[in-house]
Amino acid sequence: MIPIDLMDARPIYEQVTERFKLLILRGIIKADEKIPSVRNLAVELSINPNTIQRAYAELEKQGYIYTVKGKGNFAVGAEKLLPAYREEILQRLRELCKQAEEIGMTREEMISHMAEWRSL
């Protein structure tokens, strides 16, 4: 469920964070569902608890989970998180369009490619 790639340039804690964000956003982890304890996940992934801890701290700071002391960490509902995430994707799309324009690539060209892929 949480694949870790040690060869990946991104730090492990970030890979864990990203994975959980996706699982929560897609609703695979439901609202208020408990996620694995720091210790358990650390054992399961053969990773140091401190690293998992850091990933969870990041998730909490970004609003994806909440911590109940002495009980564990719980997912925030996707419905609360999706609007901001959609906006983030549009923001990245905008950025990409800007970069495309810098080398004279038109938006029509990009759109036509996207329309093409859709049919795949």
Partner DNA sequence: GTGGTCTAGACCACA
Q: Tokens for 10?
A: 């991104």
Which of DNA, a second copy, none does residue 53 bind (CB under 5 to 8 Å by kind)?
DNA
Task: Among 2, 31, 57, 97, indicate the residue that binds DNA (CB under 7 A).
Answer: 57
79 makes contact with a second copy (CB under 8 A): no
Which of a second copy, DNA, none does residue 57 bind (CB under 5 to 8 Å by kind)?
DNA
73 makes contact with DNA (CB under 7 A): yes
26 makes contact with a second copy (CB under 8 A): yes
CA 59/CA 21 separation, integer angstroms: 8
CB of 88 to DNA, least distance (A): 20
71 makes contact with DNA (CB under 7 A): yes
Task: Among 2, 72, 82, 85, indicate the residue that binds DNA (CB under 7 A).
Answer: 72
Amino acid at 65: I
Calculate the alpha carbon distances from 81 to 3, 22, 60, 75 in Å: 23, 11, 12, 11
Q: Kindly give the interhelix angle for 38-45 and 49-61, rounded to the nearest 10 degrees.
A: 120
